[in-house]
Structures are given as structure tokens and as C-alpha cells.
Structure 1
Amino acid sequence: MVDRKKKMRLDLLMVEKGVVASREKAKVLIMAGEVMVNGETVTKPSKQFPTDVKIHLKERLKYVSRGGYKIEGAFEDFKLSVKGKVVCDLGSSTGGFVDFLIKNGAKRVYAVDVGKGQLHWKLRNDSRVIVKEGINARYLKVDDLGEKVDFLTCDLSFISVKKVLNVVYDVLKDDGKALILIKPQFEALRSEVKKGVVRDERVHIRVLKEVKEEAKKKGFGVKGFTFSKLRGPKGNIEFFILLEKGAAEGFTDDFTDIENVVKEAWNFFKNDEGRKC
């Protein structure tokens, strides 16, 4: 029985009322702007409401996993388009990135993952998705795809993205772009990762600078950085880097100033009581 007098966090209240099955799904929907309370959109999972409020969803999850919302935010920040383009997605897993790419007009997407059987059945049965399972991204070759691609996306775990930059460069066409998710917990020193989480803003800054320098060494133009509007596992703040093969560096100071991007990310999440850094 719901006690109407008390207040609860919105994510917990959604579970309590049976709107969603889990707190994690509630967080994804709230931060994606899909939840309305008494007719108004709410985007903070930690916001407290009386338990008798009316909650409804604008729509069900648009993507097969929360990764779709992560990449959606980065595409909006950078004003990117993949309409009519051939794309390679490294670390597809369930297929959140792939789902977003297909929904936004990609001609075809190569879904690459070292695991097998993880890609959502909806994507597996889509003729625009070419499944490439059992392939370690570090050893991917153009021959595995049969062609070079216009655009590449990347969401890898338990490995530094610096280790796949050669592969990214090789599979991209000239002037091709890559949008790579940087997970600081897999880039930082072991001593800097406490219980799986990077809690030091200075470590974030250093990690992004290291990835930037490595990308430049490989021949990429570093077009900019932004941060994921959804936290990663255990509450980690994650970042995106946009690269262009053989291009000059940067298009706006807002996106290339690493210190500002990191500061903006920390400010964005500072009131998220559920997952503090």
C-alpha cells in the first residue's frame, strides 16, 4: 500500500507504483526526458515527490538498451548525421548504438562484438545490420567487413580505447569519422579506480588528454569531446571523443577544451544523489 503522505525519489516511486520493473530502467527513462509527473517532464531521478502523484511515460524505451540514449546525446551535441552512411559499431553487445544508428538512417551497420548471442533479436533480423560476432575489436581487419566505412562508433569495456585506434583508423574511409565512448575506469591507473569508480576530476582530465594525444599520433584530427548524459556502471562519468581521419583539429573551443567539458560533466551530475562520484 502506497503511503500518500510521504515523499519518495522519482526512480523508486516509479518502481513502487509499478510503472517500470526496475530502478535502473526508471533512471534511463527519467534522464531521457520520457517521464511526466502531474503533466510536467522531470529529468532528475533523485527528485522527491508525494506518493500520490500521477506518473506516465511519454513513450516506451526507444532503443534496445540505454546505450542508444548515450549516443543520441552525443549526436545532438555534435550535430552529427549517419543518414545513408555505412557504419561499424565496435562492442555492440545488446545493440543500443546499432539501434540508434539504424533509426537515424544508416545504410548498414556492421555490429562487431567479441561475444556471441548478445545482439537483440530485432536488430539481428534487420537486413541493414551485419552481425560480426566472436571478433576481438583489437584484431578487426577491413577484410572482416569487406569494405571501409564512413563512420565508426565504439563502446568497449575492460580495455583502453587507445588500443583500438589503429583499427579505427584502418577501417575508416578517408575523411571518415569516429565517435568513441571513453570509460575512465578502463583508462586510469588501478590505484585511481576505487571500487570500480573514478572519483577524481583531475584523473578524468588526464585520461582525456592521453586519449587525445594518442589519437593525434595515429593521424586523427580531434574534433571534440562531450560527456554522456547517462552514467556508466557503478556511477562512472563517461565521455565521448569525436575523431576525423586525417582532418585538422577541433571545430569549436567549447568541445575541445577538456577542462571545461569535464567541469560541465561534474556539474551536471553533482545533484544526482543516487550515484555520486
Structure 2
Amino acid sequence: MKSKKKTKKKQQRVDQLLVTRALAEDTQQATRLLMSGQVLVNDTPVTKAGQKVPADASIRLRGKSHDYVGRGGLKLAAALDHWSVALDQVVALDLGSSTGGFTDCMLRRGARRVYAVDVGSNQLDYRLRRDERVVVLEQTHAKNLTKTLVPEPIAFLCADVSFTSLKYVLPFVFPLTAAGVRAMLLFKPQFELPREKIGEGGIVTDTAAVETACTEMAAWLEGVGHVVLGQIKSPVKGREGNQEFWFYTEQRI
């Protein structure tokens, strides 16, 4: 009787994974991080850019005080600190979870459970996949979210979406939230402005257009029943160098 062959895990170059997970801006920076011994894959040092590792491996940078699985953790942490927001025992939803930077940050801040939602697959860090506090909802568009998938009322919502507008996806999520839900929304002008306002390489330099877009976003949020408690520039810029903005809101009861 022939023995069954074991299915091999998908492998990927570690330098490319660093870029995909937003731990490096490009493969050149990834190579420098690897050569300097700062990269740990499943807690083991890796120094060669071309080395292939499991696509779902846990990757972190040694020597970083935050140790989040992605740069998103730094972005959200800065916003939480700015507004002194506590997340103890909340049930949260991370819309556009990607590698899980926001999810990681919320767990560290005391969240009881996080629903990690993303249209992609195999992006969420392996460490978070194994965490019993995380409900992984990959290959799931916001418009397909239901109370069957998210049975608990969401008390805290954070969102970081690309190639679509927050105004499009948020109405699908709001019905799943608890009364008085708080939200931290990462506003990316390059995905909110008309195409003619976006420069080469997706870079937005028209500050007047950005200001108008932010004003319109605030008005839209107020129109759907969410009080804007504050708006700040994200201290961590987007991967292409675009300035992003945080909106902190609370549902009007």
C-alpha cells in the first residue's frame, strides 16, 4: 500500500514576505534588515534574503520595542495613545486586517476578542491565527459580513482598507456594532479622492484636495450617526509615503 505524500507548505522568499507584511518598505530595506540580524522567523534568526520560509510563518523584527506583526500596530497604538483610549475586555473588529498589526495592537491593549476581516488570504500572521482570541475571517468582503459570522456586538471598530473607500465598506459593518460603538478609521486620501487628484505612483500632493476630502469624510460620518471625536495625522505614513489620517468616532445614541 502506497503511503500518502505529505502536502508541502507554500514557501516564499523571506525578503518578499517582509515587504508584503509591511515590515520593510522594499526588498532593499528587507535585505539590510536580514543582513543585520534583525529578522526572526518563527523566533529563529534568518539572514539570507533569498531564503524561502513558510508563507504563513511568524515574522518579527528583533530590537523593536513594539514587536507588532506589522506597521499597522504602530499606527493604531499612536492613535490610541493620543486619545487615551482603553480597550480592556472589548469585542473588536479589524476591517482590512492584512498581516494583523491592528489586531495585534488591540490584543495587547486588552481586547477580549478581535474579528480579523480581510478580502485576501494567508496574510494574517501565524501567531495571531493560533490565538484563541482571534476570529479569522479571510476571503471575506465587508458586504458579506453577517451576524452569523460576527455573532457578538462589536464595541470597537478599526478599519484600514485599500483600493476602496471607507464610505463604501462601513455601511456593511455598522449593523454589526453595539450601540455607542467607538471607531478608529484610517483615512487614506489616495483611495478617497477622484483619480485626477492622484499623482504618479499613487502619491497625493494636492493638500487642498486632501483637506476637502477629510472635511467631506467628517460630514459623511456625522450623516450616518457617528460623532467625530477627533482627527489627527497618522505619525506613521503609508508605504508609498502618503500622509494618512485617523478619525476617532462614536455612534450617536
Residues 123-272 of structure 1 aligned to structure 2 (within 5 Å): 123-195=128-200, 196-246=202-252
**Aligned AA for 1:161?**
L
How many residues align structurally?
202
Of 60, 72, 93 in structure 2, the residue corresponding to residue 67 of structure 1 is: 72
Q: Deviations over 1:163-188 (max 9, x none)?
A: 12312321210011011100000001
- Residue 58 of structure 1 and its aligned partner are, at CA, apart by 5.3
Matches of 2:71 and 2:114, distance apart in 1? 18
Partner SS, residue 233 of structure 1: coil
Deviations 1:49-98 (A, max 9, x none): xxxxxxxx854551001110011111111111111100011000100000
**d(CA) in 1 for partners of 2:159 and 2:170?**
10
For 2:229 and 2:103, how far apart are their aligned partners in 1? 22
- The code of the aligned residue for 2:105 comes to F
The answer to whether the Cα contact below 8 Å between 1:74 and 1:227 also exists between their aligned partners in 2 is no
Amino acid at match of 1:86: V
Alignment-mate amino acid for residue 229 of structure 1:
P
Matched residues in 1 for 2:112 and 2:91: separation?
5
Deviation at 1:19, TM superposition (A): 7.1
Q: Secondary structure at the match of 1:185?
A: helix
Q: Normalization by structure 1: what TM-score?
A: 0.68
Q: 1:33 is matched with which residue?
A: none
**Structure 1 runs not aligned, ≥5 long:** 1-10, 26-56, 248-277
TM-score, normalised relative to structure 2 = 0.74
Whether 1:109 aligns to 2:90 is no
Deviations along 1:90-113, one digit per CA (max 9) or x if unpaired, are 000100000001111100100001
2:33 corresponds in structure 1 to 20
CA offsets, 1:240-275, max 9 Å, x none? 11111115xxxxxxxxxxxxxxxxxxxxxxxxxxxx
SS at match of 1:180: strand
User: Which residue does 1:269 correspond to in 2?
Assistant: none
The code of the aligned residue for 2:212 comes to R
Distance 2:144 2:252 in 1: 22
The residue type equivalent to 2:186 in the other structure is L
State the distance in 2 between where 1:79 and 1:139 align: 33
Q: Distance between the aligned counterparts of 1:138 and 1:239, measured in 2?
A: 24
Q: Which runs of 5+ in 2 are unaligned?
A: 1-23, 39-61
Question: What secondary structure does 2:98 align onto?
Answer: coil
Give the structure 2 partner of residue 99 of structure 1: 104
Structure 1 residue 206, shift from structure 2 partner: 0.7
Query: Among the aligned pairs, what percent are the same residue?
Result: 36
Please report the RMSD computed on the Cα atoms of aligned residues, expressed in angstroms. Answer: 2.4
Residue identity opposite 2:96 in structure 1: G
**Do 1:142 and 1:171's aligned partners in 2 also have CA atoms closer than 8 Å?**
yes
Bigger helix share: 1
Q: Which amino acid aligns with 2:175?
A: D
